[in-house]
Amino acid sequence: MAVERTAAVVIGGFPLGESDRVVTFFTRRFGKVRGVAKAARRMRSKFSGALELFTLGELVFFDGGRSELVQVDHFDIERPFGGIRADLGRLGHAAWMAESVARLTAERDPHPAMFALLSLALAAVDGGASPSRVAVVFGARFVDALGHRLRTDACVLCGRGGVIAGGRAAVDVDAGGTVCPSCAGAVGGTLSVAAATIDALRRVRTARWGDVMALPLGTAERELRAILEAHVTRLAGQGSRAARFLREVSRSLPVSEAP
Amino acid sequence: MAYYPEPVARLIDALQRLPGIGPKTAQRLTFFLLKRPFDEVRELSEALVAVKERIVQCRTCFNVTDEDPCRICADPVRDTGLLCIVEEPNDMLAMERTGEFRGRYHVLGGALSPLDGIGPDDLKVRELLARLDAGRTREVILATNPNVEGEATALYLAKLLRPLGVRITRIARGLPVGGDLEYADQVTLSKALEGRREIG
């Protein structure tokens, strides 16, 4: 039985049996790993609050090699990211990021760059950056890292340039990028966005993290969010639960209190 | 399961639909029941049916009960000005075991969970607002679990109820009685420090 040690972020979990818990980690060395944490739900568990969602820590686990589930030995908290849990907007956006990683990455498929991106994004939300902005930047870079970058330099259907018409562009996430006006008319169901949004998408992919957080995006941020949500939904094959949660919470709270 | 007699296979199949019970445990339980006296097994089956036939949800607090309103809601000695919000009926029972709380309860039927897609519409939030509208409540105690879901629910309810002008409190979080400080994680310890109280 191999004992492994790696940095990891808790990205999900569910109760198992009387007092155990199955926890999903996104780890630096092994990618997504699911493990059983024995007695984790007991009040005096050795894990205590360490296995809470979004916690970054040092994971030690046993891998018997006979099951997909490893045995969690301990998880030492490095950063609890408590600030995320203190605000519904931060929680919802961070949950969208964790859900995207949990759904779109394979188990035991190491991706250190993606781990760094998730850790950086959670730290930014925890530190008080706009959760919506962080989610957009994370989403754009995450789909790129997965190898599903949306093409924006030409029409993905006919290959011709000139995808901007009248200051607007059409995005077809099923086809994988922008489509020209004539193809958009033919396929239907495209997302119509401002030309500035396409430009913003290019910039959030490549600009330095600090710079992109300060970029004035205006309404492009909302449109980018819509594109990325549709893209992630298409890749996952189902709508995001965290996005639904955010919509429901925003709708039901007084405007002054909505995330 | 073709090698089992049909009633045995049916019971194994039924048992393994229960939470935390896999095929092996279902099989073990089935053979355990086969060995027990007939009366004991009949008692179990009658208890199962009675639970479904006689237990309802209290229309006031959404606790499980065999009479509606439940005994707590119907108790005239209980303080109607104190309302304790819990996630599940089991949490209410845990609070009752303390013998410290003499107010009433409201069972939400779960907690907000962004990863499971559980939003306010899936909980008894509208019903809570209707109860508070009656105007007798002085204080709402948010006794949801001290985890991400419970904290999110408490945060949401605090925001939602603030305009109603009632006092909103949250149960304390921190170290368990009999625990060792040395083994507490930093989140639990910081919550314990946050919630410190003057002594003496």
Based on the fold, state whether residues A5 and A72 are members of the same structural domain: yes
H or E segment at B38?
helix B38-54
Task: Work out the minimum CA distance from A51 to partner chain B, whole angstroms.
Answer: 10
Chain A residues whose beta carbon lies within 8 Å of the beta carbon of residue B187: 48-50, 52, 55, 77, 80, 82
Of B20, B162, B163, the CB nearest to A17: B20
Is the pLDDT at B20 greater than 80? The verdict is no
Kindly determine whether residue A245 and residue B118, on different chains, have CB atoms separated by under 8 Å.
yes
Based on the fold, state whether residues A122 and A219 are members of the same structural domain: yes
Instruction: Report the candidate in A136, A151, A103, A144 with the shortest Cα–Cα distance to residue A217.
Output: A136
pLDDT at position A67 is 82
The residue from A80, A103, A122 where one domain ends is: A80
pLDDT at position B1 is 60
Based on the fold, state whether residues A95 and A72 are members of the same structural domain: no
Chain A residues whose beta carbon lies within 8 Å of the beta carbon of residue B147: 49, 52
Looking up residue A162, the CATH number of its domain turns out to be 1.20.1440.120
Task: Work out the minimum CA distance from A66 to partner chain B, whole angstroms.
Answer: 18
Chain B residues whose beta carbon lies within 8 Å of the beta carbon of residue A102: 115
Distance between CA A162 and CA A141 in Å, rounded? 25
Could you read off the pLDDT of B54-113 as tens digits, one per residue?
999 999 999 999 999 999 999 999 999 999 999 999 999 999 999 989 999 999 999 999
The residue ranking higher by pLDDT, B20 or A9, is: A9
Could you read off the pLDDT of B159-174 as tens digits, one per residue?
999 989 899 999 988 8
Task: Work out the minimum CA distance from B75 to partner chain A, whole angstroms.
Answer: 31
- B156 vs A: CB within 8 A: yes
Distance between CA A70 and CA B110 in Å, rounded? 29
Based on the fold, state whether residues A64 and A92 are members of the same structural domain: no
Mutation pick from B108, B148, B194 vs chain A, by most beta carbons of A within 10 Å, is B148
Based on the fold, state whether residues A164 and A258 are members of the same structural domain: yes
Chain B residues whose beta carbon lies within 8 Å of the beta carbon of residue A246: 114
Burial (Cβ within 10 Å: 0-12, 13-18, ≥19) of residue A4: middle
Is the pLDDT at B19 greater than 90? The verdict is no
Based on the fold, state whether residues A184 and A220 are members of the same structural domain: yes
Looking up residue A25, the CATH number of its domain turns out to be 2.40.50.140
Output the 3-class SS for chain A. Answer: CEEEEEEEEEEEEEEECCCEEEEEEEECCCEEEEEEECCCCCCCCCCCCCCCCCCEEEEEEEECCCCCEEEEEEEEEEECCHHHHCCHHHHHHHHHHHHHHHHHCCECCCCHHHHHHHHHHHHHHHCCCCHHHHHHHHHHHHHHHHCCCCECCCCCCCCCCCCCECCEEEEECCCCEEECHHHHHHHCCCEEEEHHHHHHHHHHHHCCHHHHHHCCCCCHHHHHHHHHHHHHHHHHCCCCHHHHHHHHHHHHCCHHHCC
Based on the fold, state whether residues A104 and A210 are members of the same structural domain: yes
Mutation pick from A53, A93, A126 vs chain B, by most beta carbons of B within 10 Å, is A53
- pTM (2 d.p.): 0.88
The residue from A80, A99, A114 where one domain ends is: A80
The Cα-based distances of A16 to A171, A243, B21, B128 in angstroms read 42, 26, 10, 30
Kindly determine whether residue A43 and residue B185, on different chains, have CB atoms separated by under 8 Å.
no
- Per-residue pLDDT band for B45 (boundaries 50, 70, 90) equals very high
- B176 vs A: CB within 8 A: yes
pLDDT at position B58 is 95
Based on the fold, state whether residues A70 and A87 are members of the same structural domain: no
Mutation pick from B97, B187, B189, B190 vs chain A, by most beta carbons of A within 10 Å, is B187
Residue range of the domain that includes A20: 1-80
Q: Which residues of chain A have pLDDT under 70?
A: 1
Based on the fold, state whether residues A19 and A144 are members of the same structural domain: no
The residue ranking higher by pLDDT, B30 or B3, is: B30
- Per-residue pLDDT band for B39 (boundaries 50, 70, 90) equals very high
pLDDT at position B2 is 63
H or E segment at B169?
strand B167-170
Please tell me the total count of domains within chain A. Answer: 2
Helix axes A88-104, A131-146, angle to 10 degrees: 10
Kindly determine whether residue A246 and residue B114, on different chains, have CB atoms separated by under 8 Å.
yes
Nearest CA in chain A to B184: A48
Query: Which value does ipTM take for this structure?
Result: 0.86
Chain A residues whose beta carbon lies within 8 Å of the beta carbon of residue B159: 88, 253-254, 257
Based on the fold, state whether residues A233 and A254 are members of the same structural domain: yes
* Mean pLDDT, all residues of chain B: 91
Based on the fold, state whether residues A157 and A71 are members of the same structural domain: no
The residue from A65, A80, A95 where one domain ends is: A80
Distance between CA B60 and CA B73 in Å, rounded? 7
Answer positive or negative: Cα dihedral of B129, B130, B134, B136.
Answer: negative
Based on the fold, state whether residues A52 and A92 are members of the same structural domain: no
- B161 vs A: CB within 8 A: no
pLDDT at position A162 is 79
